Structure 1
């Protein structure tokens, strides 16, 4: 059984999805998913927050496909201090 996600993990996943959607712009999910080597459904789940903790290599492939740096994503998805 998988450990439930914390609210912070869910929030971080939602921020990641939003960043990826914004970076994708007018390009289709199918196009970006193909370049990243993942399925469009996987990209859809990440972008909508239904897959809030994607594998590192999936995020790296998406960052490369979208022209984003992993450092940039890490900073933008970092937990917001309370």
Structure 2
């Protein structure tokens, strides 16, 4: 089975998810958060860096729970593009 290439929008949504998770992780180590979510630190690293822009729903749900992020907040923050910078 051949996977359809990701669209630029899907990649951008994955980048926003990674930024959100990294910010929510704060000073905690990747290993600590990954263990709490039941995933490998390498999986978390790939999600945070955007190398895995479309992680499985249950992976995202487990990370949200480990980071005490409501899923609706994750959806809202990742679905909408960031506002364009204002030119001075």
* Fold in common (TM above 0.5): yes
TM-score by length of 1: 0.96
- Unaligned runs of 5+ residues in structure 1 are none
Larger radius of gyration: 2
Alpha-carbon RMSD across the aligned residues, in angstroms, is: 1.1
Corresponding residue of 1:35: 36
Deviations 1:7-48 (A, max 9, x none): 000000000000000000000000000000000000000000
Q: How does 1:10-21 map to 2 (within 5 A)?
A: 10-21=11-22
Corresponding residue of 2:85: none
- Unaligned runs of 5+ residues in structure 2 are 83-88
TM-score by length of 2: 0.89
How many pairs align?
81
